[in-house]
Structure 1
Protein backbone atom coordinates (compact mmCIF):
# COMPACT_ATOMS: atom_id res chain seq x y z
CA UNK A 1 0.00 0.00 0.00
CA UNK A 2 1.68 3.17 -1.20
CA UNK A 3 1.00 6.54 0.38
CA UNK A 4 -0.36 9.10 -2.12
CA UNK A 5 2.55 11.36 -1.17
CA UNK A 6 4.96 8.73 -2.53
CA UNK A 7 2.99 7.95 -5.67
CA UNK A 8 5.34 8.75 -8.57
CA UNK A 9 2.42 8.95 -10.97
CA UNK A 10 1.39 12.23 -9.32
CA UNK A 11 2.96 15.54 -10.34
CA UNK A 12 5.84 16.68 -8.11
CA UNK A 13 3.83 19.65 -6.84
CA UNK A 14 1.01 17.36 -5.68
CA UNK A 15 3.45 15.00 -3.97
CA UNK A 16 5.05 17.91 -2.10
CA UNK A 17 1.63 19.18 -1.03
CA UNK A 18 0.64 15.73 0.24
CA UNK A 19 3.95 15.32 2.09
CA UNK A 20 3.42 18.65 3.82
CA UNK A 21 -0.06 17.56 4.81
CA UNK A 22 1.24 14.27 6.15
CA UNK A 23 4.05 15.97 8.09
CA UNK A 24 1.62 18.42 9.64
CA UNK A 25 -0.73 15.61 10.67
CA UNK A 26 2.01 13.40 12.11
CA UNK A 27 3.61 16.30 14.00
CA UNK A 28 0.25 17.46 15.31
CA UNK A 29 -0.64 14.00 16.58
CA UNK A 30 2.72 13.70 18.33
CA UNK A 31 2.48 17.14 19.99
CA UNK A 32 -1.18 16.81 20.93
CA UNK A 33 -0.61 13.36 22.41
CA UNK A 34 2.37 14.54 24.45
CA UNK A 35 1.01 17.89 25.65
CA UNK A 36 -2.75 17.91 25.09
CA UNK A 37 -4.81 19.30 22.25
CA UNK A 38 -5.68 22.58 23.96
CA UNK A 39 -2.13 23.18 25.20
CA UNK A 40 -0.51 23.13 21.74
CA UNK A 41 -1.18 26.27 19.75
CA UNK A 42 -1.37 26.47 15.99
CA UNK A 43 1.65 28.78 16.08
CA UNK A 44 3.68 26.10 17.83
CA UNK A 45 2.62 23.46 15.31
CA UNK A 46 3.53 25.46 12.21
CA UNK A 47 6.84 26.50 13.81
CA UNK A 48 7.64 22.85 14.49
CA UNK A 49 7.00 21.92 10.85
CA UNK A 50 8.54 25.17 9.57
CA UNK A 51 5.62 26.22 7.42
CA UNK A 52 3.42 29.31 7.44
CA UNK A 53 -0.13 29.51 8.73
CA UNK A 54 -1.32 30.09 5.18
CA UNK A 55 0.31 26.79 4.18
CA UNK A 56 -1.44 25.10 7.08
CA UNK A 57 -4.84 26.44 6.07
CA UNK A 58 -4.32 25.32 2.49
CA UNK A 59 -4.02 21.78 3.87
CA UNK A 60 -6.53 21.82 6.73
CA UNK A 61 -9.59 23.93 7.53
CA UNK A 62 -8.99 23.95 11.29
CA UNK A 63 -6.74 22.78 14.12
CA UNK A 64 -9.26 20.04 14.88
CA UNK A 65 -8.95 18.71 11.33
CA UNK A 66 -5.20 18.14 11.52
CA UNK A 67 -5.65 16.31 14.82
CA UNK A 68 -8.03 13.73 13.31
CA UNK A 69 -6.45 13.25 9.90
CA UNK A 70 -6.36 9.46 10.36
CA UNK A 71 -10.14 9.51 10.79
CA UNK A 72 -10.52 11.71 7.71
CA UNK A 73 -8.30 9.38 5.66
CA UNK A 74 -10.62 6.48 6.42
CA UNK A 75 -13.85 8.20 5.42
CA UNK A 76 -12.30 9.84 2.37
CA UNK A 77 -11.19 6.40 1.18
CA UNK A 78 -14.67 5.01 1.90
CA UNK A 79 -16.41 7.68 -0.16
CA UNK A 80 -13.88 7.18 -2.97
CA UNK A 81 -14.67 3.45 -2.95
CA UNK A 82 -18.38 4.18 -2.96
CA UNK A 83 -18.19 6.61 -5.89
CA UNK A 84 -15.75 4.49 -7.85
CA UNK A 85 -17.83 1.33 -8.29
CA UNK A 86 -21.34 0.47 -9.40
CA UNK A 87 -23.81 -0.79 -6.84
CA UNK A 88 -25.29 -4.27 -7.13
CA UNK A 89 -27.07 -6.66 -4.82
CA UNK A 90 -27.93 -5.92 -1.21
CA UNK A 91 -27.07 -2.28 -0.57
CA UNK A 92 -26.01 -2.69 3.06
CA UNK A 93 -23.67 -5.49 2.00
CA UNK A 94 -22.29 -3.22 -0.73
CA UNK A 95 -21.59 -0.47 1.79
CA UNK A 96 -19.78 -2.93 4.02
CA UNK A 97 -17.71 -4.12 1.05
CA UNK A 98 -16.76 -0.53 0.18
CA UNK A 99 -15.76 0.25 3.77
CA UNK A 100 -13.72 -2.95 3.96
CA UNK A 101 -11.98 -2.04 0.71
CA UNK A 102 -11.21 1.42 2.06
CA UNK A 103 -9.58 0.00 5.19
CA UNK A 104 -7.55 -2.51 3.19
CA UNK A 105 -6.19 0.26 0.96
CA UNK A 106 -4.89 2.46 3.79
CA UNK A 107 -1.13 2.62 4.25
CA UNK A 108 0.50 0.34 6.87
CA UNK A 109 1.15 3.18 9.31
CA UNK A 110 -2.51 4.12 9.49
CA UNK A 111 -3.35 1.57 12.20
CA UNK A 112 -1.14 3.19 14.82
CA UNK A 113 -2.17 6.73 13.80
CA UNK A 114 -5.84 5.83 14.06
CA UNK A 115 -5.51 4.31 17.53
CA UNK A 116 -3.55 7.33 18.73
CA UNK A 117 -6.17 9.62 17.20
CA UNK A 118 -9.06 7.85 18.91
CA UNK A 119 -7.30 8.01 22.27
CA UNK A 120 -6.66 11.72 21.72
CA UNK A 121 -10.28 12.39 20.77
CA UNK A 122 -11.43 11.09 24.15
CA UNK A 123 -9.39 13.79 25.90
CA UNK A 124 -10.80 16.79 24.03
CA UNK A 125 -14.53 17.52 23.67
CA UNK A 126 -13.82 19.79 20.69
CA UNK A 127 -12.32 16.85 18.80
CA UNK A 128 -15.19 14.57 19.69
CA UNK A 129 -17.64 17.14 18.34
CA UNK A 130 -15.55 17.64 15.20
CA UNK A 131 -15.41 13.90 14.47
CA UNK A 132 -19.15 13.56 15.02
CA UNK A 133 -19.83 16.46 12.65
CA UNK A 134 -17.47 15.00 10.03
CA UNK A 135 -19.06 11.56 10.17
CA UNK A 136 -22.49 13.11 9.76
CA UNK A 137 -21.21 14.77 6.60
CA UNK A 138 -19.88 11.42 5.36
CA UNK A 139 -23.24 9.79 6.01
CA UNK A 140 -25.01 12.60 4.14
CA UNK A 141 -22.70 12.15 1.14
CA UNK A 142 -23.12 8.39 1.16
CA UNK A 143 -26.92 8.69 1.43
CA UNK A 144 -27.07 11.20 -1.41
CA UNK A 145 -24.94 8.92 -3.57
CA UNK A 146 -27.18 5.94 -2.81
CA UNK A 147 -30.35 7.90 -3.55
CA UNK A 148 -28.92 9.01 -6.88
CA UNK A 149 -27.72 5.54 -7.89
CA UNK A 150 -30.97 3.88 -6.82
CA UNK A 151 -33.24 6.50 -8.36
CA UNK A 152 -34.78 7.45 -5.00
CA UNK A 153 -36.08 10.79 -3.83
CA UNK A 154 -33.56 12.90 -1.94
CA UNK A 155 -35.75 12.79 1.18
CA UNK A 156 -36.10 8.99 1.18
CA UNK A 157 -35.01 7.84 4.64
CA UNK A 158 -33.72 4.42 3.62
CA UNK A 159 -30.33 5.52 2.23
CA UNK A 160 -29.77 7.63 5.34
CA UNK A 161 -30.54 4.71 7.62
CA UNK A 162 -28.20 2.41 5.67
CA UNK A 163 -25.41 5.00 5.73
CA UNK A 164 -25.80 5.43 9.50
CA UNK A 165 -25.87 1.68 10.12
CA UNK A 166 -22.57 1.34 8.23
CA UNK A 167 -20.79 3.99 10.29
CA UNK A 168 -22.30 2.53 13.47
CA UNK A 169 -20.89 -0.90 12.62
CA UNK A 170 -17.53 0.77 12.20
CA UNK A 171 -17.81 2.51 15.57
CA UNK A 172 -18.65 -0.74 17.36
CA UNK A 173 -15.79 -2.64 15.74
CA UNK A 174 -13.15 0.08 15.94
CA UNK A 175 -13.92 0.98 19.55
CA UNK A 176 -13.23 -2.57 20.69
CA UNK A 177 -10.10 -2.80 18.52
CA UNK A 178 -8.67 0.43 19.92
CA UNK A 179 -9.53 -0.64 23.46
CA UNK A 180 -7.50 -3.83 22.85
CA UNK A 181 -4.62 -1.66 21.52
CA UNK A 182 -4.97 -3.07 18.03
CA UNK A 183 -4.35 -6.66 19.05
CA UNK A 184 -4.45 -8.89 15.99
CA UNK A 185 -3.66 -6.03 13.62
CA UNK A 186 -5.81 -4.88 10.77
CA UNK A 187 -7.13 -8.39 10.16
CA UNK A 188 -8.71 -8.34 13.63
CA UNK A 189 -10.27 -4.95 12.91
CA UNK A 190 -11.78 -6.18 9.66
CA UNK A 191 -13.05 -9.34 11.34
CA UNK A 192 -14.71 -7.22 14.03
CA UNK A 193 -16.26 -5.04 11.34
CA UNK A 194 -17.60 -8.12 9.55
CA UNK A 195 -19.04 -9.42 12.84
CA UNK A 196 -20.79 -6.10 13.47
CA UNK A 197 -22.20 -6.12 9.94
CA UNK A 198 -23.45 -9.69 10.28
CA UNK A 199 -25.17 -8.81 13.55
CA UNK A 200 -27.46 -6.24 11.92
CA UNK A 201 -30.22 -8.57 10.63
CA UNK A 202 -30.28 -10.53 13.88
CA UNK A 203 -30.38 -7.32 15.88
CA UNK A 204 -33.36 -6.02 13.94
CA UNK A 205 -35.16 -9.32 14.53
CA UNK A 206 -34.83 -9.15 18.31
CA UNK A 207 -38.13 -9.09 20.19
CA UNK A 208 -38.95 -8.69 23.85
CA UNK A 209 -41.59 -10.69 25.63
CA UNK A 210 -43.97 -9.32 28.19
Structure 2
Protein backbone atom coordinates (compact mmCIF):
# COMPACT_ATOMS: atom_id res chain seq x y z
CA UNK A 1 0.00 0.00 0.00
CA UNK A 2 1.37 3.43 -0.92
CA UNK A 3 1.66 6.50 1.30
CA UNK A 4 -1.24 8.05 -0.58
CA UNK A 5 -3.36 4.96 0.14
CA UNK A 6 -2.61 5.17 3.86
CA UNK A 7 -3.96 8.72 3.89
CA UNK A 8 -7.36 7.47 2.71
CA UNK A 9 -10.27 6.51 4.99
CA UNK A 10 -10.37 2.85 6.06
CA UNK A 11 -13.44 2.06 3.93
CA UNK A 12 -11.71 3.43 0.81
CA UNK A 13 -8.50 1.51 1.57
CA UNK A 14 -10.50 -1.70 1.85
CA UNK A 15 -12.25 -0.97 -1.44
CA UNK A 16 -8.92 -0.41 -3.19
CA UNK A 17 -7.42 -3.60 -1.71
CA UNK A 18 -10.42 -5.63 -2.84
CA UNK A 19 -10.26 -4.16 -6.33
CA UNK A 20 -6.55 -4.93 -6.60
CA UNK A 21 -7.01 -8.48 -5.31
CA UNK A 22 -9.71 -9.13 -7.90
CA UNK A 23 -7.67 -7.61 -10.73
CA UNK A 24 -4.57 -9.62 -9.77
CA UNK A 25 -6.53 -12.86 -9.51
CA UNK A 26 -8.28 -12.19 -12.80
CA UNK A 27 -5.08 -11.49 -14.72
CA UNK A 28 -3.45 -14.63 -13.31
CA UNK A 29 -6.44 -16.89 -14.06
CA UNK A 30 -7.10 -15.39 -17.50
CA UNK A 31 -3.45 -15.89 -18.42
CA UNK A 32 -3.40 -19.47 -17.13
CA UNK A 33 -6.82 -20.71 -18.33
CA UNK A 34 -7.86 -18.23 -20.98
CA UNK A 35 -10.36 -15.39 -20.72
CA UNK A 36 -13.42 -17.26 -22.01
CA UNK A 37 -12.72 -20.39 -19.95
CA UNK A 38 -12.50 -18.52 -16.62
CA UNK A 39 -15.75 -17.90 -14.76
CA UNK A 40 -16.67 -15.12 -12.36
CA UNK A 41 -17.15 -17.80 -9.70
CA UNK A 42 -13.53 -18.85 -10.09
CA UNK A 43 -12.41 -15.23 -9.82
CA UNK A 44 -14.28 -14.55 -6.61
CA UNK A 45 -13.05 -17.82 -5.10
CA UNK A 46 -9.45 -16.94 -5.94
CA UNK A 47 -9.83 -13.45 -4.44
CA UNK A 48 -11.89 -14.76 -1.50
CA UNK A 49 -14.76 -12.33 -2.00
CA UNK A 50 -18.44 -12.71 -2.83
CA UNK A 51 -20.00 -12.46 -6.27
CA UNK A 52 -21.84 -9.29 -5.19
CA UNK A 53 -18.52 -7.77 -4.08
CA UNK A 54 -17.08 -8.49 -7.52
CA UNK A 55 -19.92 -6.70 -9.30
CA UNK A 56 -19.67 -3.73 -6.95
CA UNK A 57 -16.05 -3.36 -8.03
CA UNK A 58 -16.36 -4.25 -11.72
CA UNK A 59 -19.31 -4.35 -14.11
CA UNK A 60 -17.96 -7.30 -16.11
CA UNK A 61 -15.15 -9.81 -16.69
CA UNK A 62 -13.84 -7.52 -19.43
CA UNK A 63 -13.56 -4.61 -17.00
CA UNK A 64 -11.52 -6.54 -14.43
CA UNK A 65 -9.28 -7.92 -17.18
CA UNK A 66 -8.19 -4.47 -18.32
CA UNK A 67 -7.68 -2.88 -14.90
CA UNK A 68 -4.08 -1.90 -15.76
CA UNK A 69 -5.40 -0.01 -18.78
CA UNK A 70 -8.11 1.60 -16.66
CA UNK A 71 -5.55 2.80 -14.11
CA UNK A 72 -3.75 4.78 -16.80
CA UNK A 73 -6.82 6.47 -18.25
CA UNK A 74 -8.40 7.18 -14.88
CA UNK A 75 -5.23 8.94 -13.78
CA UNK A 76 -5.09 10.85 -17.06
CA UNK A 77 -8.67 12.10 -16.70
CA UNK A 78 -8.15 12.96 -13.03
CA UNK A 79 -5.02 15.01 -13.78
CA UNK A 80 -6.31 16.97 -16.76
CA UNK A 81 -8.67 19.39 -14.94
CA UNK A 82 -5.82 20.76 -12.83
CA UNK A 83 -3.43 21.22 -15.77
CA UNK A 84 -3.16 24.77 -17.08
CA UNK A 85 -3.32 24.79 -20.87
CA UNK A 86 -0.48 27.00 -22.02
CA UNK A 87 1.18 26.67 -25.40
CA UNK A 88 0.27 23.87 -27.78
CA UNK A 89 -2.69 21.87 -26.50
CA UNK A 90 -1.38 18.58 -27.90
CA UNK A 91 1.86 19.10 -25.99
CA UNK A 92 -0.13 19.68 -22.81
CA UNK A 93 -1.99 16.40 -23.37
CA UNK A 94 1.33 14.65 -23.95
CA UNK A 95 2.69 15.99 -20.69
CA UNK A 96 -0.41 14.98 -18.70
CA UNK A 97 -0.34 11.49 -20.18
CA UNK A 98 3.41 11.16 -19.67
CA UNK A 99 3.23 12.35 -16.05
CA UNK A 100 0.34 9.97 -15.39
CA UNK A 101 2.22 6.99 -16.80
CA UNK A 102 5.37 7.90 -14.87
CA UNK A 103 3.44 7.98 -11.58
CA UNK A 104 1.88 4.52 -11.90
CA UNK A 105 3.04 1.82 -9.42
CA UNK A 106 6.21 -0.11 -10.18
CA UNK A 107 4.27 -3.33 -10.81
CA UNK A 108 2.10 -1.68 -13.44
CA UNK A 109 4.56 -2.41 -16.27
CA UNK A 110 4.24 -6.18 -15.88
CA UNK A 111 0.48 -6.01 -15.46
CA UNK A 112 -0.01 -3.79 -18.50
CA UNK A 113 2.12 -6.02 -20.73
CA UNK A 114 0.19 -9.09 -19.54
CA UNK A 115 -3.10 -7.29 -20.15
CA UNK A 116 -2.22 -6.29 -23.70
CA UNK A 117 -1.06 -9.82 -24.53
CA UNK A 118 -4.23 -11.26 -23.05
CA UNK A 119 -6.33 -8.88 -25.16
CA UNK A 120 -4.83 -10.34 -28.33
CA UNK A 121 -6.36 -13.69 -27.42
CA UNK A 122 -9.87 -12.39 -26.75
CA UNK A 123 -11.66 -10.16 -29.29
CA UNK A 124 -14.16 -9.03 -26.66
CA UNK A 125 -11.31 -7.52 -24.64
CA UNK A 126 -10.00 -5.57 -27.62
CA UNK A 127 -13.51 -4.27 -28.19
CA UNK A 128 -13.84 -3.31 -24.53
CA UNK A 129 -10.51 -1.45 -24.63
CA UNK A 130 -11.57 0.44 -27.75
CA UNK A 131 -14.91 1.31 -26.18
CA UNK A 132 -13.25 2.51 -22.96
CA UNK A 133 -10.74 4.64 -24.87
CA UNK A 134 -13.53 6.22 -26.90
CA UNK A 135 -15.17 7.25 -23.63
CA UNK A 136 -11.89 8.74 -22.44
CA UNK A 137 -11.56 10.71 -25.68
CA UNK A 138 -15.07 12.08 -25.27
CA UNK A 139 -14.33 13.25 -21.74
CA UNK A 140 -11.00 14.80 -22.75
CA UNK A 141 -12.65 16.62 -25.67
CA UNK A 142 -15.36 17.96 -23.35
CA UNK A 143 -12.77 19.17 -20.85
CA UNK A 144 -10.73 20.88 -23.56
CA UNK A 145 -13.82 22.51 -25.04
CA UNK A 146 -14.77 23.93 -21.64
CA UNK A 147 -11.23 25.03 -20.76
CA UNK A 148 -10.75 26.81 -24.07
CA UNK A 149 -14.24 28.30 -24.24
CA UNK A 150 -14.94 26.74 -27.63
CA UNK A 151 -18.32 25.82 -29.15
CA UNK A 152 -19.43 22.24 -28.45
CA UNK A 153 -19.38 21.41 -32.16
CA UNK A 154 -15.73 22.49 -32.60
CA UNK A 155 -14.03 19.36 -33.94
CA UNK A 156 -10.50 20.34 -32.98
CA UNK A 157 -10.80 19.19 -29.37
CA UNK A 158 -12.07 15.75 -30.39
CA UNK A 159 -9.27 15.42 -32.93
CA UNK A 160 -6.65 16.34 -30.32
CA UNK A 161 -8.14 13.91 -27.81
CA UNK A 162 -8.00 11.09 -30.35
CA UNK A 163 -4.48 11.99 -31.45
CA UNK A 164 -3.31 11.68 -27.84
CA UNK A 165 -4.74 8.18 -27.39
CA UNK A 166 -3.42 7.18 -30.82
CA UNK A 167 0.07 8.29 -29.82
CA UNK A 168 -0.25 6.18 -26.68
CA UNK A 169 -1.43 3.17 -28.69
CA UNK A 170 1.55 3.37 -31.02
CA UNK A 171 4.04 3.79 -28.18
CA UNK A 172 2.43 1.08 -26.06
CA UNK A 173 2.28 -1.49 -28.86
CA UNK A 174 5.95 -1.06 -29.64
CA UNK A 175 6.91 -1.29 -25.98
CA UNK A 176 4.83 -4.41 -25.35
CA UNK A 177 6.23 -6.04 -28.52
CA UNK A 178 9.70 -5.41 -27.10
CA UNK A 179 8.62 -7.13 -23.86
CA UNK A 180 8.90 -3.88 -21.95
CA UNK A 181 12.65 -3.63 -22.58
CA UNK A 182 14.04 -0.45 -21.06
CA UNK A 183 11.21 -0.27 -18.54
CA UNK A 184 9.02 2.75 -17.96
CA UNK A 185 11.68 5.12 -19.27
CA UNK A 186 11.60 3.45 -22.67
CA UNK A 187 7.80 3.57 -22.77
CA UNK A 188 7.85 7.31 -22.05
CA UNK A 189 10.52 7.88 -24.68
CA UNK A 190 8.39 6.04 -27.22
CA UNK A 191 5.41 8.15 -26.18
CA UNK A 192 7.29 11.40 -26.74
CA UNK A 193 8.50 10.15 -30.13
CA UNK A 194 4.94 9.32 -31.16
CA UNK A 195 3.68 12.77 -30.20
CA UNK A 196 6.62 14.43 -31.94
CA UNK A 197 5.75 12.58 -35.16
CA UNK A 198 2.19 13.95 -35.30
CA UNK A 199 2.93 17.40 -36.85
CA UNK A 200 5.38 15.82 -39.29
CA UNK A 201 2.76 13.27 -40.31
CA UNK A 202 0.19 16.02 -40.90
CA UNK A 203 2.61 17.83 -43.22
CA UNK A 204 3.54 14.70 -45.15
CA UNK A 205 2.72 15.00 -48.84
CA UNK A 206 3.64 13.43 -52.18
TM-score by length of 2: 0.98
Please give the per-residue CA displacement for 1:65-123, whole angstroms capped at 9, x wherever unaligned.
Answer: 00000000000011111122222111000000000010011000000000000000000
- Count of residue pairs the alignment pairs up: 206
Counterpart contact for 1:3–1:107, Cα < 8 Å = no
Q: Distance in 2 between matches of 1:58 and 1:84?
A: 29
Q: Distance in 2 between matches of 1:61 and 1:19?
A: 17
Q: CA deviation at 1:16?
A: 0.7
Q: Aligned with 2:6: secondary structure?
A: coil
Q: CA deviation at 1:17?
A: 0.7
Relative to 1, partners in 2 of residues 1:137 and 1:89: Cα closer, same or farther, differing over 3 Å?
same
Corresponding residue of 1:185:
183
- Is 1:206 paired with 2:195? no
Q: Aligned with 1:96: secondary structure?
A: helix
Corresponding residue of 2:13:
15
Q: Where in structure 2 are there 5+ consecutive unaligned residues?
A: none
TM-score by length of 1: 0.96
Counterparts of residues 140-159 of structure 1 (less than 5 Å): 140-159=138-157
| Runs of at least 4 residues off by over 2 Å | 1-4
Q: CA deviation at 1:168?
A: 0.4
Q: Aligned with 1:89: secondary structure?
A: coil
- Is 1:132 paired with 2:146? no
Corresponding residue of 1:66:
64
- Of the three residues 87, 90, 109, the one matched with 1:89 is 87
Q: Distance in 1 between matches of 2:184 and 2:108?
A: 10
- Of the three residues 23, 34, 37, the one matched with 1:36 is 34
Corresponding residue of 1:53:
51
Q: Aligned with 1:183: secondary structure?
A: coil
- Of the three residues 77, 99, 102, the one matched with 1:79 is 77
Please give the per-residue CA displacement for 1:21-70, whole angstroms capped at 9, x wherever unaligned.
Answer: 00000000000001100000001111111111110111111110000000
Q: Aligned with 1:108: secondary structure?
A: coil
Q: CA deviation at 1:125?
A: 0.6
